[in-house]
Every structure is written in C-alpha cells, then in structure tokens.
C-alpha cells in the first residue's frame, strides 16, 4: 500500500474546489484549525472525515460502522466500507467506499469535491441562467425499452415527458424534446440535437427493469466524474466526457431530483448515482437521467402507468429544476443610483 500524508489548508481546499469563499480572509490560526488532511492510499486521495466535519461545522459521531455528521440543518450518514451515504436522508452513491486508516475515518477527495461539497455549498456552483431545457423521453418507435406486463417503457417515458414539458413551459422555460411521439431517434441524434440547441439543462426520462420483481424505487444518474468509479463498478473513469464540465451542477441537480421524487412517491430511494450513459455523458450541459421506477415491480408499474404518479413525477422534477435554477441564478447587478 502506498501512502503519503499531507495537510491541505482551507486555502488549498478552496482552490481544489474552485470555491469562491470569504474564507481567504481568515487568520493564520483559523486556517490551521480548518486544515483538511489528505492521505493517498493506492493512488486515491482521501480526506480525514473529522477534518471534513469541522470544515462544515458538523458534529461527527461514530457508532459501529455508522458515521454521522450533523448539525441543526444537515445530516450526513456514512457506512464504513460502504459506498452509499445519505445526505439529509437522500441516498447518494460515492465513488469510493468510506474506509478507516489508523483509527481515522476517510472520505475520498473526489467525493468531497464532486458530490458532498456542491450539495452542502451550492454557492460554489458556477452561476448560470436556466431557461432552455431539453427533455429526452427514452426509447421510442421500434425500441420499446423495458416492459412489464402490457406497460411499455417508451410510452411511460413519453407520457411523463409531455407532462413535464407542459409544467415547465407554464413556468416560463423554453422546452425542446428529442421526440414528441412514438418515433426512434438514435442516441447520437438525441445528443447532437441537444448540443445544437445548447440547453441550460438536459433531462432524460427512463424506467428500470430487473429480474427480481421485489425491487422497486427511483434512481437518478449523472455522468461519472473523471477519477471516479461509476456506481455499478470499481473501474475508475480516467478520461473526461463533455458533461464533466458540469460535475458540480450535475451533483446538485441529481440530489434535488432524487430528494423530490422519493418524498413525493411511495417507493424505494435507490440513491443518486453515477454512470456515463451516452445521452448524459456526451451532452455539453448539466445532464441528468431519471429511472422513474421499475416496470418489473407490480406497484411501480401500476403507478407509472397511472396519471396520478406520472403527474407527481413530473411535478417533483419540475420543482427540483426550479430549486436548481434559483440556487445557481446569476447575482442581480446592483442598480446604480442616478
Ligand atoms: Zn430506458
């Protein structure tokens, strides 16, 4: 095992995070107190969790394998050796398992930078206007997607997409769709169309399927960050994809869509996840793919075929987009007195 230990101060941590914070103005003593130690194990950089807790002003508690960081406002729960955390009760996949080293709990630097920090400090996300949104109803035409009984994924995807488009247009967004009927654009056509439009957000809607009919729930995906492993693998993605220019935006939006969906719909929280599905990896915009439920599960299938759950799903996503839009809105310039 290769290891090196070093210390990063808040200034370095901020540089690593590209954060614009007032912390630069801290005194030297305060900087030392806020230092986050970094250790490299098998060429992956980890941070001391106790330092991360202090950085955010959170209290850290360890009970068996469970590590909790909490304050009046936030609660992060991690499991030693585990890749699934919860942030304010919302499931979140990490790139690397939580581990301990010489009695210290460790969180990977990339999970801190690309997952935890944009959610806890949305002020670090680049400001931008959210006006143009591309909605991508998965599959279509000759490609039915997955199927549960008589319910076809391509139909559910389109029905929810049309509801979402309608809600967003009523709220003033300009909405484009990669298909508005039962046709089959290829993945390349979907990506190329989106990249021509240069949207502010790209949302792809899908339904899930698996061999075990007991499995239900919602998964929200964004592209795996470079240097991270996707949620279904331990193989690190070494080359960037176009959506990686928006890793912070993706993390924040995925978290809020997952949060809104699991609180609106009675089904399992299968966590916000990372995977480079072509449509969300190759689109040059903050891009999210939503797996709205399992068509192989009876309750999810019945719900997804029904207008009530379709509307709840569309509304939850629209509300999360609105929350994102407000969080990243450019600061309004101060008016100049005449
Ligand atoms: Zn699909």
Task: Please give the average pLDDT of every successive group of 10 residues along the chain, which has 338 residues.
Answer: 52 40 51 84 96 97 98 97 97 97 97 98 97 98 96 98 98 98 98 97 98 98 97 95 98 98 97 98 98 98 98 98 97 66
Tokens of residue 208, six digits:
């899930």
Q: Dihedrals φ, ψ of 221, to 5°?
A: -115, 145
Rounded CA-CA distance 280/242 in Å is: 9
On whether the pTM is more than 0.95, the answer is no
> How far apart are the CA of 207 and the centre of ligand 1, in A?
5
Q: What is the pLDDT of residue 332?
A: 76
Q: What is the pLDDT of residue 6?
A: 61
> How far apart are the CA of 269 and the centre of ligand 1, in A?
18
Burial of 132 per CB tally in 10 Å (0-12, 13-18, 19+): middle
Query: What domains can you pick out in the chain, each with its CATH number?
Result: 3-120 (3.30.457.10), 132-328 (3.40.630.40)
> How far apart are the CA of 206 and the centre of ligand 1, in A?
4
> How far apart are the CA of 154 and the centre of ligand 1, in A?
8
Contacts for 186-191: CB closer than 8 Å, 24+ residues apart: 187/278, 187/279, 188/278, 190/136, 190/279, 191/278, 191/279, 191/282, 191/283
> How far apart are the CA of 7 and the centre of ligand 1, in A?
44
> How far apart are the CA of 295 and the centre of ligand 1, in A?
10
Kind and range of the H or E element at 110? helix 109-111
Q: What is the pLDDT of residue 103?
A: 95
Rounded CA-CA distance 7/13 in Å is: 10
Q: What is the pLDDT of residue 14?
A: 42
> How far apart are the CA of 208 and the centre of ligand 1, in A?
6
> How far apart are the CA of 177 and the centre of ligand 1, in A?
16
> How far apart are the CA of 96 and the centre of ligand 1, in A?
26
> How far apart are the CA of 184 and the centre of ligand 1, in A?
13
**Do 83 and 93 meet the contact criterion of CB atoms below 8 Å apart?**
yes
> How far apart are the CA of 42 and the centre of ligand 1, in A?
36
Which DSSP letter does residue 245 get?
A: G
> How far apart are the CA of 112 and the centre of ligand 1, in A?
30
> How far apart are the CA of 18 and the centre of ligand 1, in A?
35
Rounded CA-CA distance 158/5 in Å is: 51
Count the neighbouring beta carbons within 10 Å of the beta carbon of residue 36: 22
Q: What is the pLDDT of residue 18?
A: 39
Q: What is the pLDDT of residue 15?
A: 40
> How far apart are the CA of 137 and the centre of ligand 1, in A?
9
> How far apart are the CA of 232 and the centre of ligand 1, in A?
16
Rounded CA-CA distance 153/150 in Å is: 10
Q: What is the pLDDT of residue 8?
A: 55
> How far apart are the CA of 176 and the centre of ligand 1, in A?
19
Rounded CA-CA distance 100/110 in Å is: 17
Count the neighbouring beta carbons within 10 Å of the beta carbon of residue 97: 18
DSSP assignments along 128-196, one per residue: ----EEEEEE--BTTB---EETTEEHHHHHHHHHHHHHHHHHHTT-EEEES-SSS----HHHHHHHHHH
Spatial CA neighbour of 106 closest among 94, 117, 118: 94
> How far apart are the CA of 325 and the centre of ligand 1, in A?
26
Q: What is the pLDDT of residue 19?
A: 37
> How far apart are the CA of 57 and the centre of ligand 1, in A?
41
> How far apart are the CA of 144 and the centre of ligand 1, in A?
9
């Amino acid at each position: 095992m290769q290891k090196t230990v070093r210390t990063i101060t808040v200034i370095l941590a901020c540089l690593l995070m590209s954060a614009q914070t007032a912390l630069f103005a801290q005194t030297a003593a305060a900087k030392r107190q806020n230092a986050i130690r970094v250790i490299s194990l098998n060429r992956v950089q980890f941070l001391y969790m106790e330092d991360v807790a202090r950085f955010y002003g959170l209290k850290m508690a360890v009970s068996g394998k469970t590590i909790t960081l909490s304050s009046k406002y936030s609660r992060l729960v991690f499991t030693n050796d585990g890749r699934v955390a919860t942030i304010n009760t919302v499931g979140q996949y990490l790139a690397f398992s939580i581990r301990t080293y010489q009695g210290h709990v460790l969180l990977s630097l990339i999970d801190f930078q690309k997952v935890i920090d944009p959610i806890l400090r949305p002020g670090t996300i680049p400001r931008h206007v959210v006006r143009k949104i591309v909605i991508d109803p998965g599959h279509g035409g000759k490609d039915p997607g997955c199927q549960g009984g008589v319910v076809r994924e391509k139909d559910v995807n389109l029905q929810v997409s049309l509801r979402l488009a309608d809600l967003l247009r009523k709220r003033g967004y300009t909405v484009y769709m990669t298909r508005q009927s039962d046709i089959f654009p290829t993945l390349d056509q979907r990506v190329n169309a989106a990249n021509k439009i240069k949207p502010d957000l790209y949302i792809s809607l899908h339904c899930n399927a698996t061999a075990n009919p007991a499995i239900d729930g919602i998964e929200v995906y964004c592209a795996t960050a470079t240097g991270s492993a996707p949620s279904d693998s331990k193989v690190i993605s070494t080359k960037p994809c176009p959506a990686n220019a928006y890793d912070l935006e993706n993390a924040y939006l995925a978290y809020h869509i997952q949060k809104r969906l699991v609180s609106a719909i009675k089904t399992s929280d299968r966590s916000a996840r990372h995977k480079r599905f072509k449509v969300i990896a190759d689109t040059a915009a903050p891009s999210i793919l939503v797996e709205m439920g399992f068509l192989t599960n009876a309750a999810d299938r019945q719900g997804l075929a029904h207008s009530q759950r379709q509307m709840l799903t569309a509304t939850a996503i629209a509300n999360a987009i609105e929350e994102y839009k407000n969080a990243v809105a450019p600061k309004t310039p101060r008016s100049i007195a005449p």
